[in-house]
Amino acid sequence: MQIDVVEKGAFQYALVQLDSGEEFISESAAMFRCSANIDIDVTTKSKGKGGLLGGLKRMVGGENFFFSTYSTNDGRSGEVGIAPTLPGEIKVIDLDGSMKWICTGGSYLASTPGLEVDTKFQGFKGFFTGEAPVFVEVSGEGELLVTAFGRIAEMNVPPGGLTVDTGHVVAYESTLKYEIGKAGSSWIQSFLAGEGLVIHFSGQGKILTQSHNPSGFGKSLGPMLPPR
Amino acid sequence: MQHRILCSPSYSLLEVALEAGESIVSEAGAMAWMSANMQTKTSTRGGMLAGLKRKMLSGESFFQNTYAPEGGKGLIGLTSGSPGDIVAYELDQGELFLEKGAYLASQEGVKCDTKYDGLKGLLNEGMFVLRCTGTGMMFFNAYGDIAEVDVDGEYIVDNGYAVAWEPSLSWKITKGKKIRSFLFSDQLLCRFSGTGKLWVQSRSPRTMSNWVYQYRPVKNNN
């Protein structure tokens, strides 16, 4: 299997070459092109965990209810093209089994079959992130594709911690701890600064952030549309 | 006529340099800027019926603009409403099919007409596609990146992602092979067959609209 992210511009997509017998998994409806020998199977399962409940939990997490699994059906190799909804970058994360990654706000795009894609309820504080209260947890060995609105920046959380606006988190290593907090020194100041809630990350690990906030963009377009 | 595609692929703009006596045709509203000596002629090109067909059936503009420089050279910048790529294609007594809304501009020797695509078109972007014939350069655009696919045999594109294809390719709507895929996912697919070039865009305007839909204000009934 070979995964290529076509990085020509702002509208990146992934092209995956599958050999006979190999499988690739994405959120459902992410496939936009494929060779004619590709079989698409739609299930609620990734490796191991899954079922109806898994699908429902993923929906709460802002993801799709279903996964699509791709394989070739004629003993030859084939290709699958995967595209997200929003303009932006795609990043491939290598997982070697020692580290889990957490994806927030619908950033999970696709993965190789060695990865387990599970949902993790964030508890009470999850409701205050402004994001979905369920995050997607990815573990195992393989490659994970995440998508973002705009540019993706990867950074190590510095010793003093890192504060990220709730709408700009893409994914992070599960060794990181987070707390919901305010951006300013007081709630009023925080509110006036237009920042509202932020996430304080601490511990050792990597975090991916996105340059643009999807729900911020949505909220700027929404009022211009006729009411539903 | 010289052309350059600037800021490709994300925010492409087509820059056309015209000599005296040359002209370029574009869909209405595509002009971003032009030199002051450029004369604009707005017409339905091919008559009222052709304009109506273009507008009603294939999602293009009723009027088309013809730009020609007066008294020397002229320069014009043309672009489409959505961010994305522009592809230049040369027709030599040839033919090219475009998806609804993909037409940007062409030389005068290129004719655009609508082609009825039967009921299979209804499931896709519309019942009609745009058929461009003749001789000259033409330019089409899409939302997102455009990739060229050399089809030899069969190739599958999700509903709404095909931008243009050569007439040597035929297409039909199919669904996912497994019935479960068809029921639970939006697997209405376009299956192209034959030998020829196909252009695919990397984002779907419809998917984007569906995403924005959740942010619409809720109607207040009081």
CB contact at 8 A, A4 and A14: yes
Which chain B residues have a beta carbon less than 8 Å from that of A35? Answer: 154-156
ipTM of the complex: 0.84
Q: What angle do CA A13, A18, A23 make, to 5 degrees?
A: 95
pLDDT beneath 50, residues of chain B: none
Query: Is there a contact between B98 and B133 (Cβ–Cβ < 8 Å)?
Result: no
Please give the pLDDT value at position B123.
57
Interface test with A, best of B10, B82, B143, B145 (most A CBs within 10 A): B145
pLDDT in the model for residue B66: 94
Looking at the predicted structure, is the pLDDT value of residue A222 above 70?
yes
Q: Where are the beta strands (DSSP E) in A104-183?
A: 108-111, 115-121, 134-147, 152-156, 162-165, 169-173, 177-182
Torsion of CA A126, A128, A129, A131, to 10 degrees: 80
pLDDT band of A207, cuts 50, 70, 90: very high
Identify which of B84, B185, B200 has the shortest CB distance to residue A29: B185
Residue A218: how many CB atoms within 10 A of its CB?
Answer: 17
* CA torsion, ordered B203, B209, B212, B213, to nearest 10 deg: -150
Q: Which residues of A touch B (CB under 8 A)?
A: 6, 8-13, 28-29, 31-36, 38-43, 66, 68, 73, 81, 83, 85-87, 215, 218-219, 221-223, 225-228
Asked whether the predicted pLDDT for residue A35 surpasses 80, the reply is yes
Chain B closest CA to A163's CA: distance in Å? 26
How high is the mean pLDDT of chain A? 86
- Band of the pLDDT at A50, cuts 50, 70, 90? low
Q: What pLDDT, on the 0 to 100 scale, is given for residue B95?
A: 96
Residue A153 binned pLDDT confidence (cut-offs 50, 70, 90): very high
Cβ neighbours of A43 in B, within 8 Å: 180
* Separation CA B211–CA A217 (nearest Å): 11
Residue range A91-124, pLDDT digits in tens? 999 999 999 999 987 899 999 999 998 877 766 5
- Give the closest-approach CA distance of A51 to chain B in angstroms: 14
pLDDT at A47 over 90: no
Q: What is the pLDDT of residues A186-205, one digit of tens each?
A: 766 666 666 567 889 999 99
Amino acid at A18: L
How far is residue A202's CA from residue A224's CA, in Å, rounded to a whole number? 39
Backbone torsions φ then ψ of B151, nearest 5 degrees:
-90, 130
- For A4-44, give the DSSP string: EEE-SSSB-EEEEEE-TT--EEEETT-EEEEETTEEEEEES
Q: Do the chains contact at A87 and B144, CB–CB below 8 Å?
A: yes
Is the separation of the CB atoms in B50 and B111 below 8 Å?
no
On the 0-12 / 13-18 / 19+ scale of CB atoms within 10 A, B188 is middle
